[in-house]
Amino acid sequence: MAEAHQAVAFQFTVTPEGIDLQLSHQALTEIYLSGLRSWKKKLIRLKNGVITGVYPASPSSWLFVVIAILATMYMRSDPSMGLIAKIQEHLPTLRCLQSLRIFTLLWFSLIFTMRMCLKQLLSYHRWMFEQRGKMSNTTKVWALVRIFSGRQPLLYSYQGSLPNQPVPAVKDTVKRYLESVRPLMTPDEFERMTSLATQFESSLGNRLQWYLKLKALWASNYVSDWWEEYIYLRGRSPIMVNSNYYGMDFLYVTPTPIQAARAGNTLHAFLMYRRKLNREELKPVSSTTGTVIPLCAAQCERMFNTTRTPGEETDTVQHWQDSDYVAVYHRGRYFRLRMYSSSRPLSPREIESQLQRILDDPSPPSPGEEKLGALTAGDRIPWAKARKEYFSLGVNKRSLDCIEKAAFFVTLDDDEQGMMGEDPAASLDRYAKSLLHGKCYDRWFDKSFSVVIYKNGKIGLNAEHSWADAPVVAHLWEYVLATDSFQLGYNEEGHCKGEVDASLPRPQRLSWDITPECQEQISQSLAVAQALADDVDFHVFSFRDFGKGMIKKCRISPDAYIQLALQLAYYRDRGMFCLTYEASMTRLFREGRTETVRSCSNESCAFIKALEGGEVGKVCRRLLRQASEKHQNLYKHAMTGAGIDRHLFCLYVVSKYLGVDSPFLKEVLSEPWHLSTSQTPVQQVELFDMVNHPEYVSCGGGFGPVADDGYGVSYTIMGENMMNFHISCKHSCPQTSSHKYGGQIRQALRDMLQLLCPDQREPSRTDQSQTKKDL
């Protein structure tokens, strides 16, 4: 193959006349440029490391110190109040060098002091709990965080100043837990659980807490490493559906119907984001838009060049510093596509041309190659054994390494997806299922993320969960969608803009030697994955009757409003309350990830019972507002490290390390989450103009059901007048139906608004008919 010859820098043959050495000028040039690019990246990392290391000061401030030293020496003054003179007695060197050393030490001391002050300021979270317009004196002092935040921070500038996640007191966690389960238990069940909790708090709890506090003093975060290992990496069931999640394209717009062109812009946008990430040019994400309260950016470090590798007992996450290519799958074949030429990234038009070569390639897949990806979709232990036995040597190892070390994975899908046809609602459901599991073999579910490019130009993304949570991937996805449409664009024919370098080598086809035994294992993994995928019941819909704008006019938190609607819908659907999981982030702390908000509270249950019991509107409105305030309080506690579930989880891990059993912890961690919910907020609102271009709105993303007899609900609040919902459950459970529950959610949202605003107009006939159809 031509590309194989180009990859060889030199060849030699031994002849009777001696050694015949042949050099490839093109290959040597590529090696030189690749090395040059690598050294440039190392220098950028070094420079950014220095800038981040002295933040919130700047390296140039050291020059100010030097000038100050020279000025004081010229004026014969001693700002150190005799300290320099005292040290001079013991340092037999020049006065200038001594002063320089002292003031350099002073500079580092000031940096350390500023960083500690910033860390203390960022540890203060009471500002969240104060009413708007009523700021305490302590919070006014806390506003000094703006002074210590420095100017133009890099992505990781705040990492060293972020506080460690605090360990709550055992008695506080136990108290909050008992309060959360009170509405879900009978009096006898609650009395029994209270007895177990009291016994745990007075005996084993304090012992486990001591070890946990010791870890909190030593580690950056006492939760995150155990959470990643025991919740994600040690799971032996398929990560497809059970762990991975997805993101969708624009709902109403497809910038171009040409598959290769859409892929060209999309892949180039990913490279642009990675360049910003490597240079740390991305702004540190704030907890609230427009504030200076930073969130931890540690999860961004493993966004690209990362894969999850299977093990028999536990998986591992492998990350490489750099990768100049992507792995591409099309019609059962795998390709290696270089994304750089002469040390520069390929233009969108060049990427389009290269991908069109793959689309036009008529070669069939080799035996076992087409469905090879099913190994990543099935159970983890068979995949670990197959990887060790069939992919540890030779051509299979080289090709597998190529996929795992790629920047990310790309699937050129032959299907057409998106909201289309005579039944747009059903097409959205198919779109969601395609992104969640596809054909169970045409995605590489172990990669940090896989990009899916459909035949009609629609795109999507499937992300592995262990390395990062959804908001981190959503930030990347927002940038890619906006850059594709508003920055790169297309020409009149729908192709990418720019010219093509005709000398680019063709994408390299990966080779495999899949034995019949390995093909049998692939078939078994595919059967497991296919059964799981077929069982998923999915429903996606956009709610356009009203949005957060109307909800805020009612002086209710939009997130609390939606959570109460989800619980009201579940109560109407199943006739009971259930343990409800809402994901909250703890990225206010160093290496923080998530915490659970137990949304089903005494207040929410009281409101729902009153509404369904026919209480007068005044009473229901009062209970609704109380439930909303309670939910906001629970969410704030979770964000600030005072949640319930991560603390209990870590105590349980310590008990296992110590070899002791706790009936209380065992029962708590075995409770099923029948309703698992998550909001994915839009983080870069400045990238989208929802007023002038309302059609450029994404449908968000979703995930599979957590419990076999429960629901998974992901929702995104888009602009002021739209909310998107992704609902999943399982066909095998006769008590659940995604469409029926979706209809209940629509009705609950309307009923609650009618309660708060009795004069609100009725929804359109189309929306009413859709709700009746689902119900």
Summarize pLDDT for 350-388 with one digit per residue, the tens.
999 999 999 999 999 999 999 999 999 999 999 999 999
Mean pLDDT of 308-323: 95
Span 190-216, pLDDT tens digits:
999 999 999 999 999 999 999 999 999
Q: Which amino acid is at 609?
A: K
Query: Which of 125, 268, 465, 637 is an active site residue?
Result: 465
Question: How many whole angstroms separate alpha carbon 322 and alpha carbon 405?
Answer: 9
Question: How many whole angstroms separate alpha carbon 594 and alpha carbon 582?
Answer: 10
CA angle 651, 652, 653 (to 5 degrees): 90
Residue 346, CB-side half-sphere exposure with 13 Å CA sphere: 31
Question: How many whole angstroms separate alpha carbon 642 and alpha carbon 176?
Answer: 9
pLDDT at 553: 92
Q: How crowded is residue 222: how many other Cβ atoms within 10 Å of its Cβ?
A: 24
pLDDT at 115: 78
Question: How many whole angstroms separate alpha carbon 599 and alpha carbon 564?
Answer: 8
Question: How many whole angstroms separate alpha carbon 708 and alpha carbon 436?
Answer: 17
Q: Is 431 a residue whose pLDDT tops 50?
A: yes
465 is catalytic: yes
Question: How many whole angstroms separate alpha carbon 114 and alpha carbon 120?
Answer: 10
Confidence category of residue 694, pLDDT binned at 50, 70, 90: confident
Please say whether the beta carbons of 123 and 163 come within 8 A. yes
Best CA proximity match to 567, nearest among 513, 505, 630: 630
198 is written with which tokens?
């009291």
Span 495-506, pLDDT tens digits:
999 888 888 999
Q: Is 546 a residue whose pLDDT tops 80?
A: yes
Please say whether the beta carbons of 577 and 564 come within 8 A. no
pLDDT at 130: 77
Please say whether the beta carbons of 245 and 465 come within 8 A. yes
Mean pLDDT of 395-424: 94
Mean pLDDT of the chain: 87
* CA distances, 604 to each of 47, 185, 562, 724 (Å): 52, 15, 12, 23
Q: Is 122 a residue whose pLDDT tops 90?
A: no
Neighbour-count burial of 196, counting CB atoms closer than 10 A to its CB (0-12 exposed, 13-18 middle, 19+ buried): middle
Mean pLDDT of 618-628: 95
Q: Is 76 a residue whose pLDDT tops 80?
A: no
686 is written with which tokens?
């400045």
String of DSSP letters for 242-278: TT-EEEE-BSS--S-S-HHHHHHHHHHHHHHHHHHHH
Question: How many whole angstroms separate alpha carbon 518 and alpha carbon 705?
Answer: 31
Please say whether the beta carbons of 220 and 590 come within 8 A. yes
Phi, psi of 728, rounded to the nearest 5 degrees: -130, 150
pLDDT at 562: 97
Confidence category of residue 185, pLDDT binned at 50, 70, 90: very high
Q: Indicate the CATH number for domain 234-534.
A: 3.30.559.70
Percent of the chain scoring above 90 in pLDDT: 68
- Within its chain, how far is the Cα of 441 from the centroid? 23
pLDDT at 94: 46
Question: How many whole angstroms separate alpha carbon 703 and alpha carbon 676?
Answer: 10
Strand ranges (DSSP E) for 522-631? 536-543, 580-585, 594-598
- Is residue 20 within a helix (H) or strand (E), and if so which, with residue range? strand 18-23
Please say whether the beta carbons of 412 and 358 come within 8 A. yes
Task: Decide which of 87 and 484 is more confident.
Answer: 484
575 is written with which tokens?
């006739």
Strand ranges (DSSP E) for 284-378? 306-309, 316-319, 325-330, 333-338, 340-341, 344-345
Confidence category of residue 683, pLDDT binned at 50, 70, 90: confident
One-letter-per-residue 3-state SS of 385-424: HHHHHHCCCHHHHHHHHHHHCCCCEEEECCCCCCCCCCCH
* CA distances, 769 to each of 150, 219, 235, 354 (Å): 55, 55, 42, 47
pLDDT at 712: 97
Mean pLDDT of 520-544: 96
Residue 557, CB-side half-sphere exposure with 13 Å CA sphere: 17
Q: Indicate the CATH number for domain 559-640+672-682+692-775.
A: 3.30.559.10
Span 22-58, pLDDT tens digits:
555 555 665 566 566 666 666 766 766 666 666 766 6
Q: How crowded is residue 166: how many other Cβ atoms within 10 Å of its Cβ?
A: 16
Q: Which amino acid is at 444?
A: W
258 is written with which tokens?
């040409």
pLDDT at 621: 94
CA angle 380, 384, 390 (to 5 degrees): 135
Percent of the chain scoring above 70 in pLDDT: 83
By mean pLDDT, which of 7-16, 184-193, 675-684, 766-775 is the weakest? Answer: 7-16
Q: Is 306 a residue whose pLDDT tops 90?
A: yes
Span 434-459, pLDDT tens digits:
999 999 999 999 999 999 999 999 99
Question: How many whole angstroms separate alpha carbon 683 and alpha carbon 667?
Answer: 37
Question: How many whole angstroms separate alpha carbon 711 and alpha carbon 560?
Answer: 18
Task: Decide which of 766 and 47 is more confident.
Answer: 47
Report, at the CATH architecture level, how domain 169-229+644-671 is classified: Orthogonal Bundle (1.10)
pLDDT at 4: 41
Neighbour-count burial of 119, counting CB atoms closer than 10 A to its CB (0-12 exposed, 13-18 middle, 19+ buried): middle
Q: Using only C-alpha atoms, what is the Rg of the chain? A: 29
Question: How many whole angstroms separate alpha carbon 302 and alpha carbon 495?
Answer: 32
* CA distances, 699 to each of 56, 119, 210, 454 (Å): 38, 37, 46, 16
CA angle 563, 736, 676 (to 5 degrees): 35
Please say whether the beta carbons of 311 and 384 come within 8 A. yes
Name the DSSP class of 554: T
pLDDT at 656: 94
Alpha helices in 284-379 (DSSP H): 348-360, 374-377
Query: pTM for the full model?
Result: 0.88
* CA distances, 718 to each of 746, 757, 764 (Å): 16, 22, 20
